[in-house]
Amino acid sequence: MIKDLFTATVIIGIISSGIRLATPYLYAAIGEMFGQRSGVLNLGVEGQMLLGAFVAYFVVLRTESLLLAILAAIGVGALMGLAMGFVTIQLQATQGIAGIGFYLFGMGMSNLLFQKLIGVVENIDGFSAIKIPLLGDIPVIGEIFFRQNLLVYLAFLLVPLAWFVLNKTTLGLKIRAVGENPEAADSLGVNVALVRYFTVTLGGILSSIAGASLSVALLNVFQQNMTAGQGFIAVALVYFGSWRPFGILAGALLFSMVNALQLWIQVLGIPIPSELAVMLPYILTILVLTLSLTKGKGPSALTKAFEREG
Amino acid sequence: MEIRADQTNKTPFTSLQMRNVCKRFPGVLANCEVDFDVVSGEVHALLGENGAGKSTLMKVLYGMYKLDDGEIILNGQPVTIQNPTVAINHGIGMIHQHFMLVPTLTVAENVALGLPSSKGPLTDLDVVSERIVQLASTYNLKIDPSALIWQLSVGQQQRVEIIKALYRGASLLLLDEPTAVLTPQEVDELFLIMRQMTSDGYGLGFISHKLHEVVEISDRITVLRNGRKIGTQLTSAVTKQTLANWMVGREITFITSNDKMDQGEVRIDMQAVSCPSQRGTEGLRHIDLQIHSGEIVGLAGVSGNGQLELAEVVTGLRPIKEGRVLLDGEDITGLIPGQVTEKGLSYVPEERMKDGMIRDFNISENLILREHHKWPFSKKGFLRIPYINEHTDKLVEQFRIKTPSRMTLAKNLSGGNIQKVLLARELSRSPRAIVAAQPTRGLDIGASEYVHEQLLEQRKLGTAILLISEDLDEIMALADRIAVIYEGQIMDVLPRLTATKEDLGLLMAGVHPGETIQN
């Protein structure tokens, strides 16, 4: 019944799983934000996530090493990012179309590899919850925030780190300048292509980790197309968060909380059609994006290839 | 005096020579065997029409274009400048025609961009800001390092560009059409800065196509035409007439509309018109403006003060919030552009390629855009190709449009010919009134001369013309009355015969002449 939702256990459960579910969004959206701030729109996030999810899962299955799994995901993500960079920066292909291509490639490739190398759905031992000493013992708060796994903690640390890099370092200054006016940056000796390669590769790595966080930390399983659109939602979150890390954090949390809510609604057997419950986060995305569309304008050079004349 | 170069390890600038410089683009020879030199303490102007190769030459020097042939000798040493970084390291700075600034960043961030920081990977904006303030005070520039670029006026942005170059230790500064975007007062201030810089030992390369400015500020003048050097002269030893003839390659007569016209009744009547701007802020505020039949009213102002809004309000492209627009006494407020066209209003838009033509349509198609749906261009929904072809051929001849054929796409025409096609379409329909926005921007002297002739011809026929221009010389030459717009308001309307440039400049800056300026 509806009132079942309003017990302390359930509310803590919802918030705690909401925090956990925000993890893949944070990695993917922060990565995507770096790319977009430098002027590259990567719609291939979903594909990068799927490949990352598969590779990490596969490595754990064969080696039982979580460290190797993450390293493998980083390697695959970097390759996907570099490939996206080569196509859009070097060859100057249209970014949106190239991204869709990489999405389809990542999805197809992860399916193929899964079928050829594994074939059956099998659970693994992924990242387990780490209870932070002292903090983890605080009632309610400790349960919600300080008994999560390592990838969750890192995802949340990534937010202030991304903010710092973007706003307080020379690299961040270059990224922002390249995304707003690449000609100006170029005239001051900034290597526009290099900056964009960096952000797109970083984006690939973070997307891949986002995928890995699903397969070896949250669900501990790999299934075909297991990301179910989360990569695209991550792209939407960048817009929702107005290209700022803390904006993205707010968006990711809002989204994952609603997601957690609908999962609990299903778990508790509350008589709302489950299809409707599943739709809830997506309806929310559309609503929020429509309402927030007027407030921020993205980087001026977003999706625009840069080429020096002469 | 010694140069106050920022990086002391840079050799102070003494001289630069460019010899036999050639630069080719696919199908075009942009520069051919051009010589150009600058010595410390002088302004050497590069004068020429659009497309003469002035910017190309400077971009070669700044490393933005690859040098195809020839050599560059800096302070007696041959140098190779592959990219802007090398140029900067050689102490060469460039103020681009289109500012190379990032609008969403602060002044300090724009200056710091691309430079190594004293704090390693972290930015050192506090150090940079301090140095900016120091540099600025040397040249009496008022610059707030923490201001965002988009909040600054065009003149202030230009100063940021100058600071940016000085900060990087530039001692040879190239200025590409720096006056194009400034009010006359701002031009004076810029010239003051330039004079102080030359007396400090800087060398300045100054690109312009405005004769009087070049004569005013430069020590020497080199004229380019079609990518070739025509000559170099001491400014004190050359006349404007000679320079003009060099630029164009033939005798040029300066057109003015001295003949007094009998003005008819009011054609366009704007009554207390207000409308929001592009950004949603107040665009026009209670505009009252009348244009008579057979009259050219010039609208002067610094770009972005409501000129575009005014043009769009009259032509029906932009909704009016308050007030009315009348054409020959008939209320045309709220009519859609198609209906305004029907009433006999023609429009020569500022962005001629974006708003005036379709790039991928040929000349024929562009010429009938406005009236293609009507007899004699079409019948029952079918285009009458033979008539359209005949019509095109007639206009191509009448308006002296240079084109390989009537099937040539608009995007393959030169700027001057694009404007001729546009004028042919807008003027051949015998309009009652014309709104012409920046009709000669980007055109060379020859093409501008032609546009001016056509407008004066229309004036003779009794058409009411609103001429929107940022070029005061153009307005002073053509307009019967001059309205000055500032922040969406008409500051004043002056008869041409009594208007002075000084007064207009003050009005453009929002000050009524005679008013005491309060700081």
For chain B, the domain total comes to 2
Cβ–Cβ of B113/A180 closer than 8 Å? no
Same domain as B362, residue B457: yes
- In eight-state DSSP terms, residue A4 is G
Mutant choice from A181, A186, A194 vs B, greatest count of B C-beta within 10 A: A181
ipTM above 0.85, yes or no: yes
Tell me whether residue A187 is in a domain: yes
Q: Which domain holds residue B361?
A: 294-319+334-508
What is the model's pLDDT at position A9?
84
Q: Give the C-alpha separation, A254 to A264, whole Å.
A: 16
Tell me whether residue B286 is in a domain: no
Same domain as B418, residue B315: yes
Given CB atoms, is B95 within the 8 Å cutoff of chain A? no
Tell me whether residue A310 is in a domain: no
The length of chain A in residues reads 310
Same domain as B232, residue B356: no
Q: Is the pLDDT of residue B44 over 50?
A: yes
Given CB atoms, is B147 within the 8 Å cutoff of chain A? no
Tell me whether residue B412 is in a domain: yes
According to DSSP, the residues that pair with B330 across neighbouring strands are B327
What is the model's pLDDT at position A295?
56
Tell me whether residue A21 is in a domain: yes
CATH code of the domain containing B359: 3.40.50.300
Confidence bin at A272 (pLDDT 50/70/90): confident
What's the average model confidence in pLDDT over A201-210?
98
Q: How confident is the model over B306-355, as pLDDT tens digits? A: 898 999 999 999 999 999 999 999 999 989 998 999 999 999 998 888 88
Q: What percent of chain B shows pLDDT beyond 90? A: 56
The mean of the pLDDT values for chain B is 88
Q: How confident is the model over B112-162, as pLDDT tens digits? A: 999 999 999 999 999 999 999 999 998 888 889 999 998 888 888 999 999
Q: How confident is the model over A222-268, as pLDDT tens digits? A: 999 999 899 999 999 998 898 999 999 999 999 899 889 888 888 88
What is the model's pLDDT at position A34?
98
CATH code of the domain containing A212: 1.10.3470
For chain A, the domain total comes to 1
Same domain as B205, residue B307: no
Tell me whether residue A300 is in a domain: no
Question: Are A245 and A166 in contact, with CB atoms under 8 Å apart?
Answer: yes
Tell me whether residue A184 is in a domain: yes
Tell me whether residue B324 is in a domain: no
Tell me whether residue A303 is in a domain: no
What is the model's pLDDT at position A289?
74
For A180, the closest of B85, B88, B103 (CB atoms) is B103
What is the model's pLDDT at position B260?
61
- Residues in chain A closer than 8 A to B58 (CB atoms): none
Same domain as B311, residue B200: no
**What is the chain B residue with the closest CA to A182?**
B102
Cβ–Cβ of A170/B59 closer than 8 Å? no
Confidence bin at B4 (pLDDT 50/70/90): very low
Confidence bin at A294 (pLDDT 50/70/90): low
CA-closest candidate to residue B88, choices B158, B165, B161, B160: B165
What is the model's pLDDT at position B8?
45
Q: How confident is the model over A81-110, as pLDDT tens digits? A: 999 999 999 999 999 999 999 999 999 999
- List Cβ neighbours of A266 (8 Å cut-off, separation of 6 or more): A274, A277
What is the model's pLDDT at position B268?
94
Mutant choice from B69, B113, B124 vs A, greatest count of A C-beta within 10 A: B113
Tell me whether residue B388 is in a domain: yes
Given CB atoms, is B114 within the 8 Å cutoff of chain A? yes
Q: Is the pLDDT of residue B406 over 50?
A: yes
Same domain as B344, residue B459: yes
What is the model's pLDDT at position B2?
39
Min Cα distance B472 → chain A (Å) is 29
Tell me whether residue A125 is in a domain: yes
What is the model's pLDDT at position B3?
43
Same domain as B179, residue B96: yes
Q: Is the pLDDT of residue B6 over 60?
A: no
Q: Give the C-alpha separation, B414 to B392, whole Å.
A: 18
Given CB atoms, is B102 within the 8 Å cutoff of chain A? yes
Position with higher pLDDT, A31 vs B448: A31
Task: Count Cα neighbours of B159 within 13 Å in the Cβ-side half-sphere.
Answer: 26
- Residues in chain B closer than 8 A to A172 (CB atoms): 123
Same domain as B313, residue B226: no
Confidence bin at A271 (pLDDT 50/70/90): confident
Tell me whether residue B328 is in a domain: no
Q: Is the pLDDT of residue A118 over 80?
A: yes
Beta pairing class for B77-79 and B378-379: unpaired
Q: Is the pLDDT of residue B400 over 90?
A: no
What is the model's pLDDT at position A2?
67
Domain boundary residue, one of B186, B216, B248: B248
pTM for this entry: 0.77
Domain boundary residue, one of B191, B222, B248: B248
According to DSSP, the residues that pair with B273 across neighbouring strands are B287
Q: How confident is the model over B438-472, as pLDDT tens digits? A: 998 777 777 888 899 999 999 999 999 999 998 88
Domain boundary residue, one of B188, B222, B248: B248
- Residues in chain A closer than 8 A to B60 (CB atoms): 310
Tokens of B295: 């009259």
Neighbour tally for B112: CB within 10 Å: 27
Letter string b/e over residues B4-22, b meaning 16 or more CB atoms within 10 A of that residue's CB: bbbeeebebbeebbbeebb
Same domain as B306, residue B222: no
Tell me whether residue B277 is in a domain: no
What is the model's pLDDT at position B84?
87
Question: Are B15 and B76 in contact, with CB atoms under 8 Å apart?
Answer: yes
Tell me whether residue B254 is in a domain: no
What is the model's pLDDT at position A197?
98
Tell me whether residue A307 is in a domain: no
Same domain as B169, residue B103: yes
SS3 B383: strand
Given CB atoms, is B100 within the 8 Å cutoff of chain A? yes
Q: Which domain holds residue A187?
A: 2-294
Q: How confident is the model over A140-162, as pLDDT tens digits? A: 888 888 889 999 999 999 999 99
Neighbour tally for B252: CB within 10 Å: 15
Q: What percent of chain B shows pLDDT beyond 70? A: 93
